[in-house]
Amino acid sequence: MAKPGALPPDSRFRLTREGGLVAAPGLMRAREFAWGDCQPGRQQQRLAELVDVARERATARPGRGDQRFFRLELFAGDDLTTPTEQLTIDETDAPPRLVALWEHGIPSLDG
Amino acid sequence: MVSTRHRRSGIVPPHILERLAQHAPDDIKQCVLETQRANEALQRMRLTAVTALPEAADELRRTIYDAGHTQDLPGRMVRREDEAAADDREVNEAYDDLGRTWRFYKEVFDRNSIDNHGLALDGSVHYGRHYDNAFWNGREMVFGDGDGRIFRPFTRSLDVVAHELTHGVTEATAGLAYQDQSGALNESVSDVFGVMTAQYAAGQTAAEADWLIGAELLTDQVHGAALRSLARPGTAYDDPTLGRDPQPATMAHYVETRQDNGGVHINSGIPNHAFYRAAMAAGGYSWETVGPVWYATLNDHRLTENADFAQFAGVTLANAREHAGRELADIVSQAWSDVGVTPAEV
Ligand SMILES: [Zn+2]
């Protein structure tokens, strides 16, 4: 597990929403982006904060009884096969900013 | 035919404590006497608690809440047991279908609610905004209204309401861990008892039933028939928004994935299809043939929390042999073989 706030500049991310009664592949809507896609300043700062909150709220056993959950995967560089870290957060514990990032992408970090 | 799990009160059995109290050295005797007193006090508390709890009653007690399109639970209480219908379709659907599911478990398996001790049934409707899901959160059943474009309100399907309630039953019995094969079994049990509840309510034989989960949830815009099909896993939908139903019917197409806790809603297609095949081969009503075998399996201590398909199949086969006879055992055995699962010796 990485240190709080430590996000290497070559970090890449994948954010999905999973589980739920329906659990259809089309509803996961994976969102992929890189640290470098975020503007230095507010966007990068908020992303770093969001990762910290996600680390605090992550649970190893999400999704029980059809509850939906978010999965935030962190990758180093171009290797998108094996995440260096993955965080699963129950929907009921997910910070609104994480939900917004999944729904609207990087621009939501300005809101 | 159903074995139930027993909880012991205290770790040291009372007869051993008694013997220790008579023959042990004084300091141990003192400990033992204190333990005995504590146990007796605990026993009295339990008896009082049981007497005081209205849950002990063998009757249906429902409460429906309106979450008011928020994600705050349970929400505002809108309909209690024996109260007149509300002016709200989803409230009444949840109320009626929780009742149908309770009656299914009571009349078919003599199970008194989720915990078999008359647990009151709580349900919340109008959860979240355009919320495309229903779930069991460990305390109650929660239903979204759907987004209106793909999904209708999640109270529309009796098999979905029964699916969620059955998650509570599984937690109270086998406790199948929600990950990989045991998680897929957890999901399958909810689908199997969900369709059986619907078949029982409609008085349908296995041959007459559609074996679909959530058929009433999909709007006309969706290219699909339901969320899942036990008869033909992988064929429930193929839609631009939902994607394609990813369920396999046999082990040859088992899906290895990190997502969805190892594909618990995906690989459940395999045990689902085994149940379907067994019920069809047995003929008649599913809840009279293989249903009791699956229910006994859920309550069988030989089924562990981390069971894989082979262990679950082994326990179904053992229960079929022990309680249902050779013919049904052969049918169950053939059904597992058809989906590529070899039952483990249990
Ligand atoms: Zn489920």
H helix runs in B4-25, sequence order = 14-23
Give the closest of A22, A61, A67 to B137, CB-based: A67
Residues 48-77 of A with CB under 8 A from B: 61-68, 71
Taking a C-beta distance cutoff of 8 angstroms, is the pair B280, B312 a contact?
Answer: no
> From ligand 1's centre to the CA of B167, what distance in Å?
7
Q: Does B74 touch chain A (CB under 8 A)?
A: no
Q: Which residues contact B11 (CB under 8 A, 6 or more apart)?
A: none
Q: How many whole angstroms separate alpha carbon B333 and alpha carbon B331? A: 5
Ordered by where they begin, the domains of chain B are 14-172 (3.10.170.10), 180-338 (1.10.390.10)
The per-residue pLDDT for A5 is 56
Which one of the listed residues B90, B93, B140, B164 is annotated catalytic? B164
Q: Does A25 touch chain B (CB under 8 A)?
A: yes
The per-residue pLDDT for A77 is 84
Comparison of pLDDT for B50 and A105, the residue scoring more: A105
Q: Does B276 touch chain A (CB under 8 A)?
A: no
Q: Does B256 touch chain A (CB under 8 A)?
A: no
Per-residue pLDDT of chain B (346 residues; tens, 9 = 90+): 333 343 333 344 333 444 444 445 555 455 444 545 544 444 444 444 444 444 455 899 999 999 999 999 999 999 999 999 999 999 999 999 999 999 999 999 999 999 999 999 999 999 999 999 999 999 999 999 999 999 999 999 999 999 999 999 999 999 999 999 999 999 999 999 999 999 999 999 999 999 999 999 999 999 999 999 999 999 999 999 999 999 999 999 999 999 999 999 999 999 999 999 999 999 999 999 999 999 999 999 999 999 999 999 999 999 999 999 999 999 999 999 999 999 999 9
Annotation says B126 is catalytic: no
Taking a C-beta distance cutoff of 8 angstroms, is the pair B286, B163 a contact?
Answer: no
Report the percentage of chain A scoring pLDDT > 90.
86
> From ligand 1's centre to the CA of B168, what distance in Å?
10
Q: Is A93 exposed, middle or buried (0-12, 13-18, 19+ CB in 10 A)?
A: middle
Helix B180-202 × helix B291-298 angle, to 10°: 140
Sort out which chain A residues have CB atoms less than 8 A from B260's CB and list them. 18-19, 23, 63
The per-residue pLDDT for B66 is 98
Nearest to B16 by CA among B8, B45, B301: B8
Cβ contact A26–B167 (<8 Å): no
The per-residue pLDDT for A111 is 83
- The pair phi, psi for residue B33, each rounded to 5°, is -60, -40
Cβ contact B171–A67 (<8 Å): no
Give strand pairing partners of B122.
B63
Nearest to A85 by CA among A71, A96, A99, A75: A75
The domains of chain A are located at 21-110
The per-residue pLDDT for B1 is 37
Q: Does A95 touch chain B (CB under 8 A)?
A: no
Residues whose beta carbons lie less than 5 angstroms from ion ligand 1: A 66; B 187, 190
Taking a C-beta distance cutoff of 8 angstroms, is the pair B186, B169 a contact?
Answer: no
The per-residue pLDDT for B16 is 40
Cβ contact A64–B239 (<8 Å): no
The per-residue pLDDT for A6 is 61
Taking a C-beta distance cutoff of 8 angstroms, is the pair B54, B22 a contact?
Answer: no
